[in-house]
A and B are shown apart, each in its own frame.
Chain A
Amino acid sequence: AQSVTQPDIHITVSEGASLELRCNYSYGATPYLFWYVQSPGQGLQLLLKYFSGDTLVQGIKGFEAEFKRSQSSFNLRKPSVHWSDAAEYFCAVKSNFGNEKLTFGTGTRLTIIP
């Protein structure tokens, strides 16, 4: 069965610093991978997704993620965070055949300090 692990429950970074949020997945083949962001009191919004092709994916709000098959990872990065990036971030995986379930990680809460 597919699964997603986000090992960091909470991360604090200074405004202007770089950011990397970790995501590891468990799945036999290349899955479909997503990163979503949830601002306080809001629903989720898609940041980016990976299906195939270039392993470095660009998303909205200056985020990017890199798919590394050898490490079963899909880490999210941003070179310089802004206070408005404070939110909860979810990695999600979907198999590329078979069932149509979408599995989310447990999330990483990002705090930005001035």
Chain B
Amino acid sequence: EAQVTQNPRYLITVTGKKLTVTCSQNMNHEYMSWYRQDPGLGLRQIYYSMNVEVTDKGDVPEGYKVSRKEKRNFPLILESPSPNQTSLYFCASSISPYDEQFFGPGTRLTVL
């Protein structure tokens, strides 16, 4: 089944403790992206990647890192999480940024 998977689905952590949210797609998509969703703010793009080893900042990259060492994986790294990063995070992939994006199920992160 074609899908985007994210892990973990739920995470509660404390300020400053490094964490990684994994994202994997099995559709051989070139374009992958991370978003955060907050009430009243919609989805905001954090980082995107056009291909392996090619990443770029979205609208809200501060406090986040990404890597794209393999085509199928696009992990989101929070080196030193803070409470303002409490949010619902979505990973998405598509053939290109002009095509339909397929979204993962979301990761709900709480930083205390």
Contacts and interface: CB of A to CB of B under 8 A. Distances in A.
Interface of A: 6, 9, 32, 34, 36, 42-46, 49, 51, 90, 94, 99-107
A107 B44 CA distance: 11
- Most chain B beta-carbon neighbours within 10 Å: one of A36, A44, A46, A49: A44
Contact of B98 (A6, A43, A94): A94
B67 interface: no
A43 B97 contact: no
Range class of the B interface residue count: 20 to 34
B4 to A, nearest CB: 8
A10 B96 CA distance: 31
A101 B59 contact: yes
Contacts of B103: 43-45
Given A44-B90, A101-B45, 17 more contacts: A6-B42, A32-B98, A36-B101, A43-B104, A43-B105, A44-B43, A44-B103, A45-B103, A46-B101, A94-B97, A101-B59, A101-B97, A102-B101, A103-B45, A104-B35, A106-B40, A107-B43
A13 to B, nearest CB: 21
B112 to A, nearest CB: 23
B75 interface: no
A105 B31 contact: no
